[in-house]
Structure 1
Amino acid sequence: MSVRVRRVYEPPESADGVRVLVDRLWPRGVSKEAARVDEWPKGMTPSNELRRWYHAGEGSYEEFARRYEAELAAPQAAELLDHLRSLARAGAVTLVTAAKAPEVSHAAVLARLLD
């Protein structure tokens, strides 16, 4: 399995494999052509409440990750997560995000769950 996380603002690479946008909103200033996103599973992104809570600085990354994993247990999100697992088993998958610090974002949580 090969799963990696990259910012959507970085140019796509041939090693990216399937590019999956893991943000709820389309990234500002990036065209669909430039992003070269293959899939956009909005149903597995963090809820607006959780996203706002985390970005407001009210909790730690560890607590955010725990809460996000709980959200991913919901049926629709779990189904989408299983789909990403099957993609990762078949080849390279790159989770793309607009997050300024992807290593402490929901994308990092997803990558850990997929590995």
Structure 2
Amino acid sequence: MIKIKRIYDPVQNEDGFRILVDRLWPRGLRKENVNIDLWLKEIAPSTALRKWFNHEPQKWQEFKNKYLDELSANKVVQLILSKCENNAPVTLLYAAHDHQFNHAIVLKDYLLNEIG
């Protein structure tokens, strides 16, 4: 079971293993005050891709395709998949304001596809 949510949202017991999937640390949060189990900067889109996309909805489809290419070559994916074994709950945390056009959506779909 994989969920996504903003890191600013309240922690819930159902979150399970909480993974921050942003390359940059979220603004306004102190590391010692954030309830995460793992920060996987390496799973986020490359800096060049993130800057190119700039959360512009008209670039969404191309961004998705480019990010999926990055994910297919990313060895860190296996680490997240190992946390999903036996249907253990995993929550992917992101900081973006946009709930509709952000990389965590693409990552979640990619992981679910890998699980089968």
TM-score, normalised to structure 1, is: 0.87
| Other-structure match for 2:110 | 113
- The answer as to 2:94 corresponding to 1:97 is yes
Structure 1 distance, partners of 2:9, 2:26, is 12
- Distance, in Å, in 2 between the alignment partners of 1:57 and 1:10 is 23
**Residue 57 of structure 2 is aligned to residue 61 of structure 1:** no
Alignment root-mean-square deviation, CA: 1.6
User: Percent sequence identity over matched residues?
Assistant: 38
Q: Provide closer, same or farther for how the CA distance between residues 33 and 13 of structure 1 changes in structure 2, counting only shifts above 3 A.
A: farther
The answer for unaligned runs of 5 or more in structure 1 is none
Gaps (5+ residues) in structure 2?
none
Q: How far apart, in 1, do the equivalents of 2:103 and 2:55 lie?
A: 15
1:1-115 aligned within 5 A: 2-55=1-54, 57=56, 59-74=58-73, 77=74, 79-90=75-86, 91-115=88-112
Aligned residues: 111
Counterparts in 2 of 1:56 and 1:104: CA distance versus 1, 3 Å: closer
For 1:9 and 1:60, the matched residues in 2 are separated by 25
Partner SS state of residue 70, structure 1: helix
Q: Give me the whole-angstrom Cα distance separating, in 2, the residues matched to 1:89 and 1:20.
A: 15
Q: What's the TM-score, normalizing by structure 2?
A: 0.87
